[in-house]
Structure 1
Amino acid sequence: MEKNLREVETLLEKKGIPPPGIQTLGIVGDPLRVLLSTILSLRTRDPVMEAASLRLFSRAPDLESIALMEEEELERIIYPVGFYRTKAKTIKQIAKIVLEKWKGSLPSEISPLLSLPGVGLKTATLVLGAGFGKSVLTVDTHVHRIANRWGAVKTKDADATYWELDKIVPNTLKLKVNPVLVSFGQTICLPLSPRCSECTLSQCPKIGVTHSR
C-alpha cells in the first residue's frame, strides 16, 4: 500500500493531475469550511461543489450568518448541488447545534462530529484531517475501490476499509491517502474500464478488474 501510494503520487505529479476539490479551494486548515464543502460534495461533481462553496462562503462567512439565513435562500445559494434542499436543511441544523452546544467552535474529536446531522465517518475524518491537520485517514468510494483493487484490504464498504487501512497505513502518510487516491480514481483508476495503459505502478494485481484500457 505504501509503495503504491508513493508511486501514484509521482505519477499524478508527472501528468499534472490536480488534487480534488477540497484541496484546491484554499480551505485546508479551516474546519468549518471543510465541513460545509464536504457536505456539498456528496453526490455532486467537484466543479459544481467548488462554485457552490465559494458562493456560500461569500454570502455566509460564519455560522451566525448561516443560522440567521432563511432556508430557501440557502437553497438558492448552493443550487445546483445534488439534494440541495436536504443539504440546506442539514447545514442550517449544524450551524444552530454548533452555536448552541459548542459556542460556535467545531469539536476536534470524531465522536462529537459524528453526532452532527449529515456527518458520517468520511466527512468527520476529512474535517479532522484537512480541517484540523490531524493524522487521520479519510476513505471514500475511490479509496475503498482502489485499496481493494490493490489487495491491500478485502472489504465490502468504505467504513470497513477505513478501519482496516488505519491499521496498516503509517501516520506520516494518512493525510495523503485521500487526495492522492481520489485524484487517481477520478482520472486513471476508474471504477469501470480503468486506464491501466496510463498507469505506471510496478505492482497491481487488478483485483476485480474485468476490462481495462
Structure 2
Amino acid sequence: MVQPRRLPQPLPFAQQVAIFSRLAEANPQPETELVFSNPFTLVVAVALSAQATDVGVNKATRGLFAVADTPQKMLDLGLEGVTEHVKTIGLFRQKAKNVIALSRILVEEFGGEVPDSRAALMSLPGVGRKTANVVLNSAFHFPAQAVDTHIFRVGNRTRIAPGRDVEEVERAIEDNVPARFQQDAHRWLILHGRYICQARRPRCAVCPIYDLCPYEEKTA
C-alpha cells in the first residue's frame, strides 16, 4: 500500500508573523482584482473567473454590471443578453446559464439577497467552495480562505500552509497564520503568487520575504 506523501511542518509562529508583517507593509490594503459593487456582482464575477483571467472578466462585466447589478435585473436581461456580454470569457455559454440560474434562486429563495453562509452560497449553480470563500471574505468580511492554484503553490513552497490539496492548504492557513492576518491572508498570498512567486520562474530577486522563505530552488 502506497503511503501518502508526508507533509513538511508549517513555519513556526514567529516566522509566520515576520512574513505576513512584511507582506502587510508592502501592501497594507490588499484587494481582489475583480471589479464588483455589491455581494451579487462579486458572486457573478468570481463565478465567471473560473479558467479566465481577472482582466478578461472585468472587461466583460463592465458592460454587464452597468445594466444588471441585481439578481432581478440579471433575470430581466435574460440568457441571451448575459451570453452576449460574457462571450469573450472561456466556457461562456455554461457560465451564462449559471448566472441566470443562480439569479433565479437568489430571487425565489433568498429574497434577492446574497446569503452570508458558505453552505447556502455553495447551493448556487457555478459556486464552489473557493467562490463562496471569496464572497464571505470580500463581501461579508469573514476571515475565509479562498485557495486557488497561486495560494496552493505559495503555501507549499514557503511552508506557510503545506497541503496535498486546496482544502488542506485552506485548513493550514486557518490553523497556522496568526489571527490578526487571517482577514487578508488569502489576498496577500494570491497577489504574491501572481506577481512574485510565479509558477515557472519565481521572481526571488524582488521577493520581500526572500530571506524568510525555505524554498530550496530560489532563482537568486
Sort the TM-score into its range (normalised by shorter chain).
0.7 to 0.9
* Alignment-derived partner of residue 7 in structure 1: 22
Shift of residue 178 of structure 1?
2.0
* Alignment-derived partner of residue 140 in structure 2: 132
Equivalent residues, number: 204
Secondary structure, counterpart of 2:181 in structure 1:
helix
Runs (4+) off by over 6 Å: none
Counterpart Cα distance in 1 of 2:85 and 2:194: 27
CA offsets per residue over residues 174-212 of structure 1, 9 Å max, x none? 2211221222111111011101111131311115x4x63
Give the RMSD, CA atoms, in angstroms.
Answer: 2.1
8 Å contact 1:20–1:46 — kept in the other structure?
A: no
Q: How does 1:170-189 map to 2 (within 5 A)?
A: 170-189=178-197
CA offsets per residue over residues 10-57 of structure 1, 9 Å max, x none? 3457xxxx85413xx353xx2111111111221111211112122111
* Alignment-derived partner of residue 33 in structure 2: 21
Q: 1:150 aligns with which of 158, 176, 193?
A: 158
8 Å contact 2:143–2:184 — kept in the other structure?
A: no
Identical counterparts, % of pairs? 26
Counterpart Cα distance in 1 of 2:96 and 2:36: 22
Q: How does 1:2-151 map to 2 (within 5 A)?
A: 2-12=17-27, 19-22=31-34, 25=35, 27=37, 30-151=38-159
* Alignment-derived partner of residue 212 in structure 1: 219
Shift of residue 8 of structure 1?
2.5
8 Å contact 2:160–2:177 — kept in the other structure?
A: no
Shift of residue 119 of structure 1?
1.1
Counterpart Cα distance in 2 of 1:150 and 1:7: 14
8 Å contact 1:71–1:89 — kept in the other structure?
A: yes
Q: Which has the larger radius of gyration?
A: 2
Letter in 1 for 2:215: K
Ranges in structure 1 where 5+ consecutive residues have no aligned partner: none
